[in-house]
Amino acid sequence: MLLKFAKENQKMRVVFGCDFCHRVISDPAKAIYAWQVDRKTLEIPEGVIFVFHTNTCDQVTLDNDNEQDKNLWQWAPLTRFPAELLNGLDKTWEQAQDEQTELQPKD
C-alpha cells in the first residue's frame, strides 16, 4: 500500500497511491484495497494490503480462476478502509476525532 504526503492548498495531507500505476488515488470511491488469500488454507499468508484504481489498475485481482498453486485475491472498496483501520487500532471514530482535536494548535 502506498501512503504518501501530498501538498494541496498549501497544506500537507496523507493520500493513497495506486500500487499498480503509482498515481494518487484522488477519489476513494473509485478504488479498492486488496489482499491475497492462500487458496488451500484460506489464510492471509503475507498480510500485505494493496490499493488499486478500479476498472483500470485492478486487473490483477480479477484472475481468481488461475492455477491451483496461486493465491486468491479478495478486495473491498477503499471507502471501507478507514473503518477497518480504526477497528484494528481498537478505536472508535469519536476517539480518533478527540485525539486529532487534542493535537491541533491552541490559539
Each residue's pLDDT tens digit, 2-44: 888 888 888 888 889 999 999 999 899 999 999 988 888 888 8
Specify the pLDDT at position 104.
67
86 domain-assigned: no
41 domain-assigned: yes
30 domain-assigned: yes
Cell of 94: 469519536
91 domain-assigned: no
Residue ranges of E strands in 1-107: 2-8, 11-17, 31-37, 50-53, 72-77
Q: How confident is the model at residue 50 (pLDDT cuts 50, 70, 90)?
A: very high
94 domain-assigned: no
Is the pLDDT reported for residue 66 higher than 60? no
Question: Percent of the chain, pLDDT > 70?
Answer: 88
- Whole-model pTM? 0.74
When divided into structural domains, the chain yields a total of: 1
By residue range, what is the domain housing residue 40? 2-78
83 domain-assigned: no
